[in-house]
Amino acid sequence: MIYSPEDYLMLSGIQHFCFCKRQWGLIHIEQQWSDNLLTVEGDILHKNVHDIGFDEKRGDKIVVRGMAINSAELGVSGVCDVVEFMRSEDGVSIFGREGKYKVIPVEYKRGKPKENDADRLQLAAQAMCLEEMLCCKIEKGFLYYGEIRRREEIVFDDEIRQKTVSMIKEMHGYFERGYTPKTKRTKSCNACSLKDICLPGLQKNISAGKYIRERLDETE
Ligand code: SF4
């Protein structure tokens, strides 16, 4: 299936979806948002990465920061923190540059590696966008973790690619129906930026947006 740009979902939503499908629905379908410490720290780290500069050459490597990416096949769009272009005979031509380059996405994260697949799936989706845009094959990428100051190599094998495609399909399914998934309360709720909005609505089995509107009506 080929998606139109107006139907693209945000790549950053993969983080929310892996953390809690309901949180993703509240943010991306119902447009609810609430900052907490974790999300603010994450935003600052990304802002620093994107502010450093756009394009930098280091020997055989070109580093591009804040590159806008999308995929019509996946129906997603977003921004790559860093894309490294490594000079290589097996690579692809890059507009305005001599030679051929291998393409390597690098995503910056606060904290340390997570137990869930969120970071790996987000990076794999970025790689698949870059493959579609640059007509190339990307074998691996890196996740850089601010807390441990280390890069982790991620290989884009068939398993991670299939998982990424089926998760994004599921997201599109919810989005098209305008349905925010219901879920049970878990220990993740304590660290959730939307718990004050979500939990009362969850208990009453109505949408968070409807719950807030009802509370506002009561105070008028
Ligand atoms: S409070 Fe819990 S159920 Fe609600 S969105 Fe957050 S993590 Fe999900």
Q: Which atom of ligand 1 is nearest to the CA of 19?
A: 7
The CA distance from 186 to 202, in Å, is 12
For residue 37, which phi and psi values (nearest 5 degrees)?
A: -55, -45
pLDDT of the residue at 185 = 87
Q: In the predicted model, is pLDDT for residue 17 greater than 90?
A: yes
For residue 199, which phi and psi values (nearest 5 degrees)?
A: -65, -45
Give the range of the structural domain holding residue 181, as residue numbers without chain letter. Answer: 5-219
Q: How far is the CA of 33 from the centre of ligand 1 (A)?
A: 12
β-strands 55-58, 61-71 pairing: antiparallel
Ligand 1: residues whose CB is within 6 Å? 20, 22-23, 26, 183, 185, 188-189, 192, 194-195, 198-199, 202
pLDDT of the residue at 52 = 44
Give the global pTM. Answer: 0.84
Q: Looking at the 3D structure of the chain, how many domains does it have? A: 1
pLDDT of the residue at 49 = 55
Span of 21-25, 101-105, 181-185 with lowest mean pLDDT: 181-185
pLDDT of the residue at 214 = 61
The CA distance from 83 to 169, in Å, is 25
The arithmetic mean of pLDDT across residues 208-219, rounded, is: 60
pLDDT tens digit sequence for 147-188: 999 999 999 999 999 999 999 999 999 999 999 998 888 888
Of 28, 30, 188, the one to substitute when testing ligand 1's pocket (max ligand atoms within 8 A of C-beta) is: 188
pLDDT of the residue at 65 = 92
Which residue has better confidence, 198 or 175? Answer: 175
pLDDT tens digit sequence for 34-73: 655 456 555 655 555 555 445 777 788 999 999 999 999 9
For residue 7, which phi and psi values (nearest 5 degrees)?
A: -100, 5
CATH number of domain containing 169: 3.90.320
Q: In the predicted model, is pLDDT for residue 209 greater than 80?
A: no
